[in-house]
């Protein structure tokens, strides 16, 4: 990605030690940190992590990260997104060998292909696929999804010896709901933290056990009350896109006098939007959460609420502009960009379009963000 901001000093007192590299390299030190815990990789917010957790695993999210692509070139053409290439690289280089399994959910064409490519590359752990419906509002989608969730549970039991009981699933759902609530609260209090602290708190939750992350969030949110929230000025923007696993762009926005007030990102608000109904039968409740969410660009919804959702975020947060952070070669996001940017233009909301790849020049990025913030200042 752009450049990795490496934060090696303790960020929040002695509460969290965070090395940004550990986000892309969850296996580094896994054995020492969690000698008794088994990690299960996944990529997308449509992954039923509650099921993995209930089966006794720690769901660990695989993100893009930065680095060289070498081995992956023999497996993927140059026009594959950086996420696909980087995860392939780490998988082939053995950097993900601590995983007990890897779950790939059907979202885009690229994920569909890499699931099979990874499978055919003989990883040292089993790969499990989950064919999520593409049209979640369809007749029959819920029944299908429910059956697919039960199939996944059966695979966890048969191939991993890790059965999922209903009680365990309820507990896992409650834990992840708690994490979602805490993240939502954190979003409301983001001004109490530096940009890096904020993203550390959000993203670390995707590669650490949820129990640990919940405790961390609880304690930092408690001290928020005592802390004075910084009053920030300058144009407010919303980030929209796929994966942000590196705080470079929000850091630049803030350095240049803007502020990120919310986002529609897979590694951001889409991770914690909508709770699972804890009063319902747990499998059905998991299915329903996917049906209720504002769809990601790989999903179709007849009502197509993405543009409306973005406009309502703009209005609710008082943002003056939107920054799209889109991975090169990502079809679903590239298509949606056109519809979303038109909807914004109709409402007079300016936007900036940033395309990210493994080699985006940081200097140019700064200049463009600066020009955009100046534009927002003037408006």
Partner 1 sequence: MAEKRYKKLKTAAELQRLMQWHYTRIRLPRLGRPLAWVTSGAPVEILRAMGVIAVYPENYGALCGARREAVSLCEAAEAQGYSPDLCSYARTSLGSVFQSERAPMGGLPQPDLLIACNNICGTVIKWYEAVAAHYEVPLFILDTPFIHGAFEPHALAYVVAQLEAMIRFVERTTGRRLSMKRLERTVRLANETVQLWSEIRALCKARPSPLNAPDLFVNMAPIVVLRGTEGAVRFYRHLKAEVEMRVKNGIGAIPKEKYRLLWDNIAIWHHLYRFYNYFVDYDACFVVDTYTGGWSQEIPEGQSELMEGIATAYATVFLNQSLEYRSHLMERLIREYDVDGFVMHCNRSCKPYSLGQYAIRRRITEGTGVPGLIIESDMCDARAFAAEAVKTRIQAFMETLAERK
Binding site for partner 1 (CB under 8 A): 74-80, 84, 106, 108-110, 112-117, 119-121, 129, 131-135, 138-141, 143-144, 147-148, 151, 297-298, 300, 302, 304, 328-329, 331-332, 334-339, 341-342, 355
Q: Which does 300 bind (CB under 5 to 8 A by kind): ligand SF4, partner 1, none?
A: partner 1
Q: β-strands 57-61, 99-105: how paired? A: unpaired
Of the pair 234, 332, the CB lying nearest ligand SF4 is at 332
Tokens of 230: 């910084």
CB-wise, 295 or 327, nearer to ligand SF4? 327
The residue among 143 and 255 lying less far from partner 1, judged by its C-beta, is 143
Sheet strands side by side (includes 321-327): 259-264, 236-241, 321-327, 351-356
SS (H, E, C) 143-200: HHHHHHHHHHHHHHHHHHCCCCCHHHHHHHHHHHHHHHHHHHHHHHCHHHCCHHHHHH
Instruction: Compute the least distance from the CB of residue 239 to ligand SF4, in Å.
Output: 15
Binds 304: which of ligand SF4, partner 1, none (CB < 5-8 Å by kind): partner 1
- In the complex with partner 1, the residue whose CB is nearer, 203 or 344, is 344
**Residues in region 296-325 near ligand SF4 by CB under 6 A:** 298
Question: In this complex, which beta carbon is closest to ligand SF4, that of residue 23 or of residue 175?
Answer: 23
19 near 10, Cβ under 8 Å?
no
User: Which tokens belong to 321?
Assistant: 């502009």
The nearer residue to partner 1, 125 or 337, going by C-beta atoms, is: 337
CA of 169: how far to CAs of 51, 61, 135, in Å? 6, 19, 26
Interface positions, 229-258, toward ligand SF4 (CB under 6 A): 242
Helix axes 109-120, 82-92, angle to 10 degrees: 10
Report how far Cα 275 is from the mean position of its chain's Cα atoms.
Answer: 16
Give whichever of 56 and 327 is closer to ligand SF4, judged by the CB atom.
Answer: 327
Q: How many CB atoms lie within 10 A of CB 108?
A: 20
Contact between 104 and ligand SF4 per CB under 6 A: no
Query: What's the CA gap between 151 and 145, in Å, rounded?
Result: 10
332-351 residues in contact with ligand SF4 (CB under 6 A) are 332-333
- 92 burial type by CB count under 10 A (0-12 exposed, 13-18 middle, 19+ buried): middle
Region binding ligand SF4 by CB under 6 A among candidate stretches 12-20, 76-84, 149-157, 315-323: 76-84
- Per partner kind, with CB cut-offs from 5 to 8 A, the member of partner 1, ligand SF4, none near residue 83 is ligand SF4
120 interacts with, out of ligand SF4, partner 1, none, CB within 5 to 8 A per kind: partner 1
Which of 204, 230, 229 has the alpha carbon at shortest distance from 217? 204
Q: Which of partner 1, ligand SF4, none does residue 291 bind to, with CB < 5 to 8 Å depending on kind?
A: none
User: Which C-beta is closer to partner 1: that of 192 or that of 287?
Assistant: 287
H-helix segments, the chain = 21-24, 30-33, 49-54, 82-92, 109-120, 141-160, 166-188, 195-204, 210-226, 248-255, 269-272, 282-292, 306-317, 331-346, 362-378
Q: Shortest approach of partner 1 to residue 232 CB, angstroms?
A: 31
User: Which residues of this chain interact with ligand SF4, rule CB under 6 A?
Assistant: 81, 83-84, 107-108, 110-111, 242, 298, 327, 330, 332-333
């Amino acid at each position: 990605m752009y450049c990795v901001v490496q934060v090696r000093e303790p960020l929040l007192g002695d509460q969290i030690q965070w090395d940004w590299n550990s986000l892309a390299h969850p296996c580094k030190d896994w054995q020492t940190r969690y000698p008794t815990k088994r990690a299960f990789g996944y990529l997308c917010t449509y992954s039923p992590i509650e099921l993995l957790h209930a089966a006794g695993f720690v769901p660990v999210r695989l993100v893009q990260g930065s680095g060289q692509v070498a081995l992956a070139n023999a497996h993927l053409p140059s026009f594959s997104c950086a996420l696909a290439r980087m995860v392939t690289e780490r998988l082939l280089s053995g950097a993900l060998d601590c995983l007990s399994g890897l779950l790939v959910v059907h979202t885009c064409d690229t994920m569909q292909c890499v699931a099979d490519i990874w499978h055919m590359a003989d990883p040292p752990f089993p790969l499990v696929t989950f064919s999520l419906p593409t049209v979640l509002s369809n007749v029959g989608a819920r029944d299908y999804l429910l059956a697919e969730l039960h199939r996944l549970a059966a695979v966890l039991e048969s191939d991993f010896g890790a059965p999922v009981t209903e009680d365990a699933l309820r507990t896992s759902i409650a834990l992840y709901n708690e994490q979602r609530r805490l993240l939502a609260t954190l979003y409301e209090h983001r001004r109490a933290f530096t940009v890096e602290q904020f993203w550390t708190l959000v993203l670390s939750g995707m590669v650490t056990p949820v129990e640990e992350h919940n405790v961390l969030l609880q304690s930092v949110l408690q001290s928020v009350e005592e802390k004075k929230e910084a009053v920030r000025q300058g144009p407010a923007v919303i980030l929209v896109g796929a994966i942000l696993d590196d705080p470079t762009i929000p850091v630049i926005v803030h350095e240049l006098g803007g502020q990120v007030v919310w986002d529609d990102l897979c590694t951001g608000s889409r991770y914690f939007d909508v709770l699972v109904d804890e009063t319902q039968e747990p499998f059905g409740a998991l299915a329903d959460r996917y049906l209720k969410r504002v769809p990601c660009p790989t999903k179709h919804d007849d009502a197509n609420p993405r543009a409306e959702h973005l406009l309502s975020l703009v209005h609710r947060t008082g943002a003056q502009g939107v920054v799209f952070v889109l991975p090169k070669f990502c079809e679903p996001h590239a298509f949606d960009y056109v519809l979303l940017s038109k909807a914004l233009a109709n409402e007079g909301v300016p936007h900036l379009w940033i395309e990210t790849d493994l080699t985006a020049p940081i200097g140019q990025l700064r200049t463009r963000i600066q020009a955009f913030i100046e534009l927002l200042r003037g408006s």
